[in-house]
Copies of this chain bind each other. A is one copy, B any other.
Amino acid sequence: MSLTLHGYWRSSAAYRVRLALALKGLSHTSVAHDLRTGAQRAADYRALQPQGLVPVLEGPDGPLIQSPAILEWVEERYPDPPLLPGDSAGRAVVRAMAAIVACDIHPINNLRVLTMLRQDMGADEAATTRWIGHWVTEGFAALETQIERHGAGYAYGDMPTLADCHILPQVYNAQRFAVDLSPFPLLVAAAQRLRERVPEASPEVQGDAA
């Protein structure tokens, strides 16, 4: 069963999927779509993903969209090693951590929103940077509290979960925009641990990395 991941080296949603695949030991073929030139809005790609967003994972169940849904699918189809805890309470905690990134940080700061801020709201670079820092800091503060309660090296316990697959790409993003991460030592340490565990998933080693 071959897997093909449509992504972009710097897309943090595609990075989540690369991390999960790497943790599961699953190889995949990569197809790069350059978001800077709008390649993901081409009609043939939109036939796979009607929003014109990355990632798409093509596999035995056809093309799958939306990284949170893709990660649940990967977990269901390739359960070993597990990226969700064995108990319902633990799964709810991990999924909530993932959702803090997937719903409350990332979408507000991604390229299409920043473009709209600049073009329609007239935001300058200072305002955009302040905007990004605000949402990252709010979300990471909540995550740091959760990791303090539930983490033991990783965000939840001592093995990587879907929470870590969301957190590391968001840390990567935050560092690009020079957000001060010093208030979130547990979160940063968990991200670094995952980065070192599966270096093959990192943005800078992807084939399309500039």
Please list the residues of chain A having a beta carbon within 8 angstroms of any beta carbon in chain B.
50-51, 53, 61-62, 64-70, 72-73, 76-77, 88-89, 91-96, 98-100, 102-104, 106-108, 113, 116-117, 120-123, 127, 130-131, 134, 138-139, 141-142, 145-146
Contacts and interface: CB of A to CB of B under 8 A. Distances in A.
Given A64-B92, A108-B107, A120 B116 contact: no
A149 B77 CA distance: 23
B146 A50 contact: yes
B76 A88 contact: yes
B103 A103 contact: yes
Nearest to A105: B107
B92 A142 contact: no
Given A73-B88, A107-B108, A145 B96 contact: no
A108 B110 CA distance: 10
Copies assembled: 2
Contact of A66 (B95, B106, B121, B123): B95
A146 B51 CA distance: 10
Nearest to A139: B51
A91 B107 contact: no
Contacts of A69: 92-96, 98-99
B66 A96 contact: yes
A53 B138 CA distance: 11
Contacts of A68: 68, 95, 99, 102-103
Contact of A141 (B50, B93, B130, B146): B50
Contact of A61 (B92, B120, B131): B92
A3 to B, nearest CB: 13
Lowest 8 A-B CB distances belong to which pairs?
A69-B95, A61-B89, A66-B96, A66-B99, A69-B96, A50-B142, A50-B145, A51-B142
A123 B104 CA distance: 21
